[in-house]
């Protein structure tokens, strides 16, 4: 998160507190989506090169955030993958 503050100029108060813990994977992904939206809002050094590109990134982040809040992210993975199921 230090890099997000330093490189994207995101105020520390926007990001989750250091050491935050989440009860569910959906809560963690929602926090991650919020951080990505903050990056899009505050970072002005080449994150999006066109208006359409910026709009696409914003919409994608909002869709991901909505899916996490609704608990609709798929739970899939490989047989040897213990992290995503």
Q: Does pTM top 0.75 for this prediction?
A: no
Q: Return d(Cα 4, Cα 16) in angstroms, integer.
A: 12
Residue at 36 is within a domain: yes
Apex 81 CA angle, 67 and 83, nearest 5:
50
The tokens describing 1, both together, are 């998160």
Residue 53 maps to a domain: yes
Query: Model confidence over 10-48: pLDDT tens digits?
Result: 888 888 888 889 888 888 888 888 888 888 888 777 666
Question: How many structural domains does the chain have?
Answer: 1
Does a structural domain hold residue 5? no
Specify if 49 maps to a domain: yes
- Residue of 85, 78, 9 whose CA lies nearest to 47: 9
In which domain, by residue range, is 55 found?
A: 24-71
Answer whether residue 46 is part of any domain. Answer: yes
Assess if residue 63 is contained within a domain. Answer: yes
Q: What is the mean pLDDT of residues 71-83?
A: 64
Q: Is the residue at 61 inside a domain? A: yes
Q: 25 vs 80, which has greater pLDDT?
A: 25
């Amino acid at each position: 998160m230090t890099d997000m503050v330093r490189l994207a100029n995101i105020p520390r108060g926007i990001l989750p507190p250091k050491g935050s813990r989440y009860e569910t994977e959906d809560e963690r992904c929602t926090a991650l989506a919020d951080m990505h939206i903050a990056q899009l809002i505050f970072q002005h050094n080449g994150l999006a090169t066109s208006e359409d590109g910026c709009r696409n990134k914003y919409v994608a982040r909002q869709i991901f955030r909505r899916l996490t809040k609704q608990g609709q992210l798929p739970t899939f993975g490989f047989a040897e993958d213990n992290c995503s199921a």
